[in-house]
Amino acid sequence: MSVAPKRDDYDVVVIGAGPAGLAAAATSAEAGLSTLLLDENIGPGGQVFRAISSTPVTDRNQLGADYWVGADLVQSLRASNAEVIQRATVWSLDRNLDIAVSIGGASAFVKAKRVILATGALERPFPIPGWTLPGVMTAGAAQTMLKSSALVPDGRTVIAGQGPLLWLLAAQILRLGGRIDRILDTTERGNYFAALPHAFAFLTSPYFAKGLSMMREVKAKVQVVSGVTELAASGDGQLASVSYVAGGKRETIPADLLLLHQGVVPNVNLAMAAGIEHRWDDLQLCWSPVLDASGNSSVAGIAIAGDGAGIGGANAAVVRGRIAARAAVEALAPAAAANLPAMATLRSDLAKAERGRLFLDTLFRPAPQFRIPSGDTIVCRCEEVTAKDVLDSVAIGATGPNQLKAYRRTGMGPCQGRLCGLTVTELMAQARGKTPQDIGYYRLRAPVKPIMLAELAAVPKSEADVKAVVRG
């Protein structure tokens, strides 16, 4: 079932089989480049098209037309000559374009002439009191279970946060007969005004009509509380209740499941570990890679496509994947590029796909109290470090996320900062009166996913290494 890569080197290695990766790999392979697509999940699709080839949710209306677009992308990929390996975890990528990948408990090394990173997004940390309790999950987690296993919430369920995904999930849960007791909308009231100047572009984007009808569908069936300014989960070893403040009034409701969501941010771990330069994005409140118009990063030969290049959504991801692949084709097999859509066409497709993004980013910019926690609220889930712990360390001299490791083990657990990095940067920036760009981020290193010692020990070694074993 798990097969190692057929070759040691490829023209193009694409990492991640979401919308960007699927499009990139198909484009690259169709142009005749030897192409390997590595993806960590059981099947292709990434998060947005999760389980596209295997979902038990067969009624097409339930997951919606936007989901089933993914089936066409997978179709194109399968029609191409791209080599595709699922359940392949890339754990190292460096500036020499050497890639280490774990497949079925064994690691292989492959080399690429070009790498297209399509590692997508993850949900922004939502560090509220009690967010580590069993029974508190992300909205994306619930959607993953819904798409791949037709599982729906059936206990007392609260959905809290903001953003398009939250409404889509709510609609899907209801269509599948699941239970939602209340939706707590944390969108800041001031954001509506801030977003107004960008409204025209949004009104003429495809998101508008779809979003509106979905919200109507949900609001007809579920009590929605807007203007939520505080949120906490509590319980003894298991979620028991959710309390919130809206319009200055506190309310506590019993709950078995709390689904949190306040947007998505680029999944930067592999890109940063490869040494790619990132900058703080003040609107999207996250780290985004520094890229040229074709997605090329600061490391020669590595391009980034999809939400890992900065959040743009699934449609933009597909186009960015095609742009990055076309750039690779232009570099490696210029003659073959003639058969691909022109770069100008692709760029205009991208502009269209990105329309309305500024409105969404402004409207759903999460409020500070939901990004920058205080007191005993856990910041680093792995090492169980609280906001107070971080602030105490700042008080005695910790200046940034890397220095903080000397005081507290933030970011040193298995998730390698994925669930605390943004929080730590913003928390330290606020405490020190600096910008997040000045404060910086964790220096990330391979393995970007943990690897078993026995697996590493079994990696073939070069002759020089074996000789070097004997101390000189």
Partner 1 sequence: MFRRSEQDERPQVQIFVDGVAVAARQGDTVSAALLASGQDARRSTAVSGAPRLPYCMMGVCFDCLVTIDGVGNRQGCLVPVAEGMQIEIQKGKREIGK
Partner 2 sequence: MSRHVDAIVIGGGIHGCSTALHLCLAGLKPVLIEKDYAGRHASGVNAGGVRQLARHIPEIPLSIRSMGIWEKITELVDDDCSFESHGQVLVAENEDELAVCRARVAELNALGFTHEELIDAAELRRLVPAVAETCPGGVVSRRDGAANPAQTTTAFRRKAEQLGATVREGVAARNIRYSDGLWHVDVGSESFAAPVLVNAAGAWAGRIAADLGEPVPVETVAPMLMITSRVPHFIDPVVILRGRKLSFKQFKNGTVLIGGGHLATPYQNRNETVLDWKSLATSAQTVFELFPVMRSATIVRAWAGIEAKMKDDIPVFGPSSRHKGLYHQFGFSLHGFQLGPGAGAVMAELIVDGGTQTRVSDLGIDRFHPSTLQQ
Q: Helical H runs in 364-419?
A: 368-371, 387-395, 401-404
Query: How many residues belong to the site for partner 1 (CB under 8 A)?
Result: 55
Q: Is 136 in the site for partner 1 (CB under 8 A)?
A: yes
Residues in region 69-108 near partner 1 by CB under 8 A: 87, 89, 105
Query: How many residues belong to the site for partner 2 (CB under 8 A)?
Result: 44
Site string for partner 2, 236-275 (x = CB under 8 A): ---------------------------------------x
- Measuring CA to CA, which residue among 261, 260, 253, 262 is closest to residue 156? 253
- Segment near partner 1 (CB under 8 A); pick from 48-56, 213-221, 277-285, 358-366: 48-56
Distances in whole angstroms, Cα of residue 76 to Cα of each of 82, 211, 471? 10, 28, 53
Each as own residue / partner, the long-range contacts of residues 221-225 (CB below 8 Å, 24 or more positions apart, any chain) are 221/174, 221/180, 222/170, 222/174, 222/180, 222/181, 222/182, 222/183, 223/181, 223/182, 223/183, 224/182, 224/183, 224/185, 225/182, 225/183, 225/184, 225/185
DSSP state, 268?
A: -
Q: Is 15 in the site for partner 1 (CB under 8 A)?
A: no
Residue 108 CB, nearest distance to partner 2 (Å)?
A: 11
95 CB-near residues (< 8 Å, 6+ apart): 274, 275, 299, 300, 302
Residue 434 CB, nearest distance to partner 2 (Å)?
A: 12
Residue 248 CB, nearest distance to partner 1 (Å)?
A: 31
Q: Is 13 in the site for partner 2 (CB under 8 A)?
A: no
Q: Is 240 in the site for partner 1 (CB under 8 A)?
A: no
- Segment near partner 2 (CB under 8 A); pick from 23-31, 114-122, 169-177, 400-408: 400-408
One residue of 194, 300, 342, 456 binding partner 2 per CB under 8 A: 456
In this structure, the strands spanning 286-289 and 278-281 are: antiparallel
Q: Which is nearer to partner 1, 114 or 147 (CB)?
A: 147
- Measuring CA to CA, which residue among 299, 285, 244 is closest to residue 112? 299
Cis peptide before 19 (omega within 30 of 0): no
Q: Is 54 in the site for partner 1 (CB under 8 A)?
A: yes
Residue 381 binding: pick among partner 2, partner 1, none (C-beta 5-8 Å cut-off by kind) = partner 1
One residue of 382, 387, 424, 429 binding partner 1 per CB under 8 A: 382
Site string for partner 2, 55-94 (x = CB under 8 A): -------------------------------------x-x
CA distance 98 to 93: 6
Q: Is 416 in the site for partner 2 (CB under 8 A)?
A: yes
Q: What is the DSSP string of 129-148?
A: TTTTSTTEEEHHHHHHHHHH
Q: φ and ψ at 196, to 5 degrees?
A: -50, -45
Distances in whole angstroms, Cα of residue 15 to Cα of each of 20, 23, 25, 303, 320? 10, 12, 9, 11, 14
Residues that bind partner 2 (CB under 8 A): 92, 94-96, 98, 100, 109, 275, 396-397, 399-400, 402-403, 405-407, 409, 412-414, 416, 443, 445-447, 450-454, 456-462, 465-466, 468-471
Chain contacts with partner 1 (rule: CB under 8 A) = 40-42, 47, 51, 54, 56-59, 87, 89, 105, 122-123, 132-138, 140-142, 144-145, 148-155, 176-178, 237-238, 256-257, 267, 381-384, 413-415, 418-419, 449-450, 452
